[in-house]
């Protein structure tokens, strides 16, 4: 029988699974955003092409906004990336894996809320509006309210927290006692040894 403390022992995990988990997380949370950051100039140019009469200064602001979003995405994603290491390292059925999965899930909900500002995005549109009109416009802001959608997403993420618990309960017996085939083999071997001793 193993407990929480024993489940956190370093010898109970797999470095290969940990590396694979970290690599996958790095692709999504770091490599892909870095590629987008590298090509952010082209992306901003494409976005600017949809706005008539856009000045270079306004284009620079779009580019700066795009890059800042990518930087924030990567910074907030770093804790999730670090958590991929123990999640991949410890096997299903261990307290350690379940706890790290729950921590990662709770942080991911916080990450989505902070990254999307709760679903209410406020953008200073003064410069863009001025570029598209002949007059002078000051103090114009655009508000995109996607809070309903974001709260639905976070609600689904909360429900997803059940998965690590279900995985833990389903794999706990195998984690403690080993695969059923191995257990059957051990029982058969014990019976054979016992039979030989009785025969002697």
Q: Any idea which of 25-29, 84-88, 133-137, 178-182 has the lowest mean pLDDT?
A: 133-137
* Residue 15: exposure state from Cβ atoms within 10 A (0-12, 13-18, ≥19): exposed
Residue 26: its pLDDT value, please?
A: 96
Domain residue limits, the chain: 4-199
- Give the global pTM: 0.74
Read off the pLDDT of each residue in 183-196 and give the average, rounded to a whole number: 52
Query: Of the ranges 19-23, 56-60, 95-99, 125-129, which one carries the lowest mean pLDDT score?
Result: 125-129
pLDDT for residue 46 = 78
Dihedral angle, C-alpha 154, 158, 160, 161, nearest 10 °: 140
Q: What is the pLDDT of residue 182?
A: 54
Residues 200, 191: Cα–Cα separation, whole Å: 14
CB contact at 8 A, 118 and 150: yes
């Amino acid at each position: 029988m193993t407990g929480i403390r024993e489940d956190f022992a370093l010898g109970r995990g797999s470095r290969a699974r940990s590396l694979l988990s970290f690599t996958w997380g790095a692709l999504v949370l770091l490599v892909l955003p870095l590629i987008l950051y590298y090509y952010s100039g082209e992306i901003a140019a494409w976005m600017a092409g949809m706005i008539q009469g856009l000045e270079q200064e306004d284009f620079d602001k779009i580019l700066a906004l795009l890059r800042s979003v990518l930087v924030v995405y990567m910074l907030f994603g770093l804790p999730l990336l670090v958590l991929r290491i123990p999640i991949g390292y410890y096997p299903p059925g261990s307290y350690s894996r379940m706890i790290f999965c729950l921590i990662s899930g709770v942080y991911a909900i916080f990450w989505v809320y902070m990254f999307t500002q709760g679903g209410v995005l406020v953008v200073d549109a003064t410069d863009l509006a001025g570029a598209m009109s002949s007059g002078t416009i000051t103090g114009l802001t655009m508000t995109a309210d996607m809070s309903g959608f974001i709260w639905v997403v976070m609600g689904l993420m909360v429900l997803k927290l059940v998965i690590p618990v279900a995985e833990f309960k389903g794999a706990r017996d195998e984690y403690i006692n080993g695969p059923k085939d191995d257990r059957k083999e051990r029982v058969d071997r014990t019976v054979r040894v016992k039979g030989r001793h009785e025969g002697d």
